[in-house]
Amino acid sequence: MPTKQSLPEKSEESRKPGDGIEEDSTDENEDSEGLTEELPEFLYPDGTKVALTAPGTVLRFGESATVATSDSEGRLLIWKINAHDGVRIPAGRIELLEPEKATNISHFNCYAYDIAFLGAVSKYTEDPMVIHGLPDINNAAVTPPKMIASSRDGKASRRLVGGSDNACGIPLNSRLPTKQSSLVRNFSYARGTVGAVEHGSETAESSHTVSFYFDEEVPTVPEGRKKPAPIIWR
């Protein structure tokens, strides 16, 4: 059962089609320059103090960040992420639902990352009308961190949507389960995110990297307010 202590402190195996390619966009973090309130600094899954990585942190590939996502049961799922440098994939190796969108694509870059589930806590709320119930983890879906290919300053880049784990060749026995009841705490799962590189567009300044975008349902990041700057690996 949730306790007050558990609440956050305020202060390729086969070639399978991908869903498509998402165009460059600044919508992901166009308001990332400031916050109206601060994110929780610490969370306490099972009484263990976990420090969250601050928005705007820039890491080297191979370094870890600790983040939280929101589920449908009023909880925050806590994750440790370790992202790796990109691996080039020839354009012809990835099948698309809309092949015409690949006309100007030179190649793809796969960014694999390790992800471990550290536990969960109930969301903090000051709303007296909210009462936390016992979470139904048998049916609740896993809500993984949002990791996407981006520019060096964290802006979303043109990228693959759907089929990224297949494109990166993530083994089936290493993939993140879809139900929370199947999550193994502290086990290192693997995932991938894929950026699309157009002919003549890749330079040292414009090269892809990978970023984590904060969940708008995490406390103090409500929808409509300024979003935190992403955590960037490069």
**The pLDDT value given to residue 6:** 42
CA distance 161 to 20: 5
Question: What CA–CA distances, in Å, run from 24 to 85, 154, 155, 227?
Answer: 20, 12, 8, 18
Q: pLDDT band at residue 186, thresholds of 50, 70 and 90?
A: very high
- Report the share of the chain in percent with pLDDT over 90: 49
pTM of the model: 0.80
Q: Are strands 64-70 and 75-83 parallel, antiparallel or unpaired?
A: antiparallel
Model pLDDT for residues 203-233, shown as the tens digit of each residue: 545 567 889 998 777 765 555 556 788 999 9
CA–CA distance, 102 with 105 (Å, rounded to integer): 5
Element (H, E) at 39: none
Mean pLDDT calculated for residue range 116-122? 95
Residue 203 is predicted with a pLDDT of 58
User: Nearest Cα to 108, choosing from 29, 234, 193?
Assistant: 193
CA angle 146/150/152 to nearest 5° reads 130
Mean residue pLDDT of the chain comes to 82
- Stronger pLDDT, 213 or 21, i.e. the higher one: 213
Position with higher pLDDT, 108 vs 9: 108
Pairing type for strands 64-70 and 42-43 reads unpaired
Condensed to tens digits (0 to 9), the pLDDT of residues 124-140 reads 777 888 888 899 999 99
What pLDDT is recorded for position 33? 43
User: Is the predicted pLDDT of residue 105 greater than 80, yes or no?
Assistant: yes
